[in-house]
Amino acid sequence: MPPAHTYQTNKVFPNLCARTDTIDVTKNLKNEKDETMKKLLRIHQSSSTHWVGNGFPVRTVFDYNGLGRELSPFLLLDYAAPYAFPAGDEKRGVGAHPHKGFETVTVAYQGELEHRDSSGGGGKIGAGDVQWMTAGNGIVHEEFHSRDFARQGGTLQMAQLWVNLRAKDKSAQAGYQTLAKAQIPTVALPNNAGTARVIAGELNGNKGPAKTFSPINLWDVTLRGGKSAEFPLPDGHTTAFLVLNGKVEVNGDREAREGDLAMFERTGTGISLKASTDAQLLVMDGEPLNEPIVGHGPFVMNTRDEIQKAFEDFQLGRMGELN
C-alpha cells in the first residue's frame, strides 16, 4: 500500500521539506464502483417441496401473496430441482386449467415438456428451451411431460416464472412463444468467467428473443468457480436471482447457495458476483409496474371485481377450450 503522504527534499531551500499527499486511486475507484452497485436487500430461502399435479415437484420461491408484492413485475417463481422419474406409461403433469392477467415463463433445464392451450399455441420444449405464454384476457392450457420422456424416464429440472401485466395489457389477446435453445444468444462473460443466455432483454448488445409487454431482463447465467463477473442492470429496476446450483458471493458481501433468492435494492446500475464454486443462476430484472396486485389462484388482476369477472369468464367458456 502506498503511504498516505510522502516528504520530498526542497532543492532550493534544503532545510525545508514539502509534504506531498498521494491518493490511493484504486481504492477510490473501488468505492465509486461499490456505490453504483445495487445493494443486497436480503437472501431468501425457498419453501419446502410440494407437488403441482403429479409431474412437478416444486419449491415455491416466492408468490404474489408474499415477496411477489416486493418484486414487481414478477409475481411467482416455482423451481423444480433435478428429480429422477422412472419410465412408465402414466401421464404426468397438470391437466387443463385457466390463467388470466399475466404471463408464465417456463425454462427447461433437463427433461421434456409438452404444452397445449386454447389460443391454439403449444409445442414441445426440452433442455435449454423456453416457453413464454401470455394469459392476457384469459387462456386455458395444460402441461405434461412429453410422451417420449414419460416412456423413457429421466431427470426433470425446470423453473416457472409468472410475470405481471399492466392493467392496460391484462386484456391483451392470449398467445404463446416457443423460444428454442438455438434462438437464445449465449454471451461469453469477460475474463472467462462463464456465460449468460439472454432469454429476454439485453446484455452487452445481445438481445433475447422473447417479446415482452414491459422492460424485462431474464438471463440464464453460468459462472466458473473462483471467477467474478459484473452485470449491468437499469437503475430503478427490480432485480433478483435464484441460485440453481453452486455458491456465489454477492457484491463482496454475503454468500448465496442453491435454492436461495438474492434480492436487491432498485437503486444502482448493476450487481457484482463471485462464484465460490461452479454455479448456475436465473437472473430476473424488470421495470416495476406500481399497480395494485389482487390475486386468487390462477388469476391476477387489479381489483376484486376483476377477479370475480375472471371466474365468470372461465365458467362461461369465454377463455376458450382445448380441442
Q: What is the pLDDT of residues 191-217, one digit of tens each?
A: 999 999 999 999 999 999 999 999 999
Residue 230 lies in a domain: yes
Residue 139 lies in a domain: yes
Q: Is the pLDDT score of 136 beyond 70?
A: yes
Cell of 247: 455458491
Q: What is the pLDDT of residues 220-259, one digit of tens each?
A: 999 999 999 999 999 999 999 999 999 999 988 899 999 9
Residue 16 lies in a domain: no
State mean pLDDT over 64-76: 97
Q: Is the pLDDT score of 290 beyond 50?
A: yes
pTM of whole model > 0.85? yes
Residue 285 lies in a domain: yes
Q: What type of residue is 116? A: R
Q: Using the Cα atoms of residue 109, residue 250, residue 198 and residue 106 in order, give the sign of their dihedral.
A: positive
**What pLDDT shows up at residue 180?**
98
**What pLDDT shows up at residue 34?**
62
Residue 179 lies in a domain: yes
Task: Give the list of residues 6+ apart from residue 279 with CB closer than 8 angstroms, or none.
Answer: 222, 223, 225, 243, 244, 245, 246, 247, 248
Q: Is the pLDDT score of 187 beyond 70?
A: yes
Q: Is the pLDDT score of 20 beyond 70?
A: no
Q: Write out the residue range of the structural domain in which residue 145 sits.
A: 40-315
Residue 322 lies in a domain: no
Which pLDDT band holds residue 18 (cuts at 50, 70, 90)? very low
State mean pLDDT over 19-30: 42
**What pLDDT shows up at residue 24?**
45
User: Where residue 145 sits, what CATH number does that domain have?
Assistant: 2.60.120.10
Q: How far apart are CA 253 and CA 248, in angstroms?
A: 10
β-pairing verdict for 74-85 and 154-164: antiparallel
Which pLDDT band holds residue 87 (cuts at 50, 70, 90)? very high
Q: What is the pLDDT of residues 93-122, one digit of tens each?
A: 999 999 999 999 999 999 999 999 999 998
Instruction: Mean pLDDT check: name the lowest of 8-17, 189-198, 238-247, 260-269.
Output: 8-17
**What pLDDT shows up at residue 33?**
54
Counting every residue, how long is the chain? Answer: 323
**What pLDDT shows up at residue 233?**
98
Q: How many CA atoms lie within 13 A of 14 on its CB side?
A: 0
Instruction: Mean pLDDT check: name the lowest of 3-12, 160-169, 269-278, 288-297.
Output: 3-12
CA nearest to 113, candidates 156, 80, 83, 152: 156
Residue 25 lies in a domain: no
What is the number of structural domains in the chain? 1
Compute the mean pLDDT over every residue in the chain, rounded to the nearest whole number: 91
Contact (Cβ atoms closer than 8 angstroms) between residue 1 and residue 24: yes
Residue 13 lies in a domain: no
